[in-house]
Amino acid sequence: MGSIRKRERSNLLFFDFRYKNIRCREQTKLPDTPANRKKLQTIMDKIDAEILLGHFKYENYFPESSMLKKVQLQNDT
């Protein structure tokens, strides 16, 4: 199950979850506020559900991610 965390230096929120046995951390540009945490938690809940059901597509959520290639390679194996 993923979580929403905060980078201490920047006070920005990021997603932290596991997919295909890979730890994934995806930065956002949103500051740590209750409203932003709620917004991101809604997205994280959807990601968790899609992973559980086997329908998660990394590129749908994080198309510009540097992790995308690594995850796609893992999907090919």
Give the total number of structural domains in the chain.
Answer: 1
Contact between 44 and 2 under an 8 Å Cβ cutoff? The reply is yes
Chain segment 60-74, per-residue pLDDT in tens: 999 999 998 888 877
- Please provide the DSSP assignment of the chain as one string: --EEEE-TTT-EEEEEEEETTEEEEEEEEEES-HHHHHHHHHHHHHHHHHHHHT---HHHH-TT-TTHHHHHHHHH-
User: What phi and psi, each to the nearest 5 degrees, are found at residue 62?
Assistant: -135, 65
Q: How many CB atoms lie within 10 A of CB 43?
A: 14
Range of the domain at 70: 3-76
pLDDT at 77: 60
* pTM summary value: 0.90
Note down pLDDT in tens along the chain; length 77 residues: 899 999 999 999 999 999 999 999 999 999 999 999 999 999 999 999 999 999 999 999 999 999 988 888 777 66
